[in-house]
Structure 1
Amino acid sequence: MLQVSYIRENKEHVIASLTKRNIDASEMVNDVLNFDEERRALQTKLDTLKAESNTLSKEIGMLFKSGEAQKANILKEKTSQLKESTRDLESELNEKADALNELLYKIPNVPNDLVPLGNSDEDNEEVFREGDVPTLPEGALPHWELAKKHDIIDFELGNKITGAGFPVYKGKGARLQRALIAYFLDKNTEAGYTEYQLPHLVNEASGFGTGQLPDKEGQMYHVTGDNLYLIPTAEVPGTNLFRGDLVNKNDLPLAITGYTPCFRREAGSYGAHVRGLNRLHQFDKVEIIRVEHPERSYVALDEMVDHVKDILRELKLPYRILRLCGGDLTFASALTYDFEVYSTAQERWLEISSISNFETFQANRLKLRFKNDDGKNQLAHTLNGSSLALPRVLAGILENYQTPDGIKIPEALVPYTGFDFIK
């Protein structure tokens, strides 16, 4: 959530920057400033009444001490009227503050200057590419056919149990999945991230804290009886660990990692491009999350990008990095880099990671602060990224490592799988 003070001081910049998201935010911004002006006027009036009431209370005490009870009682009647007016003003002020917050919740984050113009993923900017695309044997198969041939993932069985988008991993497929999770967590903890086991359901406040609500409620599974949400990513419970905290500046950066299953409704996703592991309603992901000092959050973003690069180099998967355009940027992000692995059998790029800097947008919702050198509370910056999302990494491994005799296992994973080949 943008800070009102930031909008007030940078009104034209906010409006101009949000045009990168193909949004005309002028009406929303003006509404925010008008509501804020009304709120501040009410606050001033309330402060005046409280000051007057305090002054009268002191005067009443002095009158009683001096034996002038009649005058004191007259003033007491006035203070009663002031208290009633104060209660009315407080109620009006709370309503105005709630209405202001409702407006602020609807305004997305301001894109960083590096964010390119564009309407969709077709306008994203490729900034890096690495790795050789393998030459596959004749008759190479996409991963969903390889999974069936080697009996390692059963999509039909998952459909029987739950529905489309809930695969069942079997035998070496399950072990490979578990190996990837352990490998990613080990790589992350070696890089200085502290591992957490996180809840798989969150409350409404957590959804608001990271910006999934009110923007993405249609994509989240909602447990209506308890008003809880199945997590779409470990970003939500992981970042909310610090909700409401005043952290020690010397403890920054805070860096955590965690594995969770993720649940996304993905309404309206059909067709060949979402076959197999390409688009799921339940999938596994290992996340990295950082809370940073604002002065080094973009250095941290580059460090996170380099970290994921190292993992993909070890797995020897061809990949590229895209800087997302304004039209493809998520609601809360200021700048996002997407990693895509090349699926040789499908002859297409598959997204496997998004690494984002949210600047103060999430921290303002979370009230996540630290004390700066002046002793004043300052909002921290939050960042997160997939390190990595498993389905499409697994799809890339199955397809790019296939041979006429079976599927090789990347060398880096063999210590985790206990086997080097799926025959």
Structure 2
Amino acid sequence: MKPPSSAPDRPEPPGGARGIYLDHAATSPVCPEAVEAVLRGMEITGNPSSRHGAGDEAHEALRSSREQLARLFGCTADEVVFTGGGSEADALAICGTVLAARDRTPHVITTAIEHSAVLESCGLARELGAQVTLVEPDGRGWVDPEAVRRALRPGTVLVSVMHANNETGVVQPVAEIAELAHQAGALMHTDAVQAAGKIPLAESGADLISVSAHKFYGPKGVGALKVAAGVRLAPLIRGGGQERGLRAGTENVAGVLGMAAAASAAVRRLADPGFQDHRHALRASLLKGLEQAGDLEVNGDTASCLPEILNVSFAGLRGDTLVDVLAVRGVCVSAGSACHAGSDAPSHVLTAMGLPAERAKAAVRFSAGRTTTVDAVTEAAATTVDAVTRLRSLGPAVPPATRAKK
């Protein structure tokens, strides 16, 4: 499958020249199917909770959307809860589990490489009286199930491990970890925001799965949480009792319709062998081109990762500086999670993996998408190599004597 080279992947950068968008891990362009669905949803007048024809139309739109999301999750439609995004879904999963277990001191296990939405929700869980254990990854960014097993205790109510890391793309052994959690009587949550549309979610074995529409070509500001049958959660947003009483507030009908259309498109892509081949071809072409810069290190396990995400460090440079230079040249990449843009601190993910601060600060994340072409990544790599060469000619950002070895 060769996607069109047209373009939400070639935005207009400063200066007006056609650019190359390689920051899909931050957000993806809205696909045509989702745009059409959102526009259709904007024409639906009624409140889904109203008992008349207009309300019935909105209610039916939510019902059909729930079925489409269920196919992405690999669950039943009544297990899908709509939220305002992935962060809210994470908060509901983690804090909702803790609040539902107030008859004891709940214990939560998560990892040091989670998205801030999970880490901050665990911080709130502490304020609610929970105890939280952080499991460290190895140098590849991989979480050992055995380390999770050792952290389990009688009071553990939840284990939360992301499906695929948003900075390195490393895919975690969530199914194996879920089995251990269930054996200990705990629930399993996975933040699948980066994984949705790229790998099957049903195989995770998780009771709670968070997704965000804008990561799989849907609109921003809408997400969903799979809540397996029988799982008890306390709502965080209370009011009218929508979403089975788990998330009050009138549903974003247009946004939900757009998310559902994007989810259906994602499910179709997952079954397309051509799409799978194309993903790996993009990564191979991009890495081959970037290696021409020399003195490059790949961050994260290359054997178990999403092919869309390539995190590399160019020795002697600052990643944020390179990102800024590439932006001027029309190549859109990032120096880590978009949620921490502007921070001078090295990535908490790369730091937890044990990378020296200099290497972590030199990191740049390239993330391709479904419409990215091999020609585009080849051009982006050549532009990056030229930028790296020119920046290095100005002198190292980190003095060689203090630059840490791998």
Q: TM-score, normalised by structure 2?
A: 0.25
Rg bigger for which structure? 1
Q: TM-score, normalised by structure 1?
A: 0.24
Greater per-residue helix proportion? 1
- Tell me: higher relative CO, structure 1 or 2? Use CA pairs within 8 A at least 6 residues apart: 2
Greater per-residue strand proportion? 1
